Amino acid sequence: MAKDSEQTEQPVERTLVLLKPDAVVRGFAGKIIARFEDAALKIVGVKMKQMDADFTRRHYFDLEERLGREVYDFTATFMQQGPVIALVLEGFDAVATVRKIVGSTYPNEAPAGTVRGDFSHYSKAASVVAGKAVANLVHASGNRDEAAQEIDLWFDKDELYAYRTLAEIYTY
Catalytic residue among 14, 59, 99, 139: 139
- The reply to whether 3 falls in a domain is no
The answer to whether residue 59 is catalytic is: no
Judged by average pLDDT, the poorest of 73-77, 89-93, 166-170 is: 166-170
For the chain, how many structural domains are there in total? 1
In a domain, 171, yes or no: no
Whether residue 118 has pLDDT greater than 90: yes
Question: How many beta carbons lie within 10 A of that of residue 38, not counting itself?
Answer: 9
Report pLDDT digits (tens) over 27-48.
999 999 999 999 999 999 999 9
**Domain presence at residue 55:** yes
- What is the domain extent for residue 92? 11-162
pTM: 0.90
Residue 8 has pLDDT above 60, yes or no: no
CATH code, 45 = 3.30.70.141
Q: How far apart are CA 121 and CA 110, in angstroms?
A: 9
Whether the CB-CB separation of 107 and 115 falls below 8 Å is answered with no
Is the pLDDT at 172 greater than 70, yes or no?
no
Q: Are 89 and 17 in contact (CB under 8 A)?
A: yes
- The per-residue pLDDT for 10 is 62
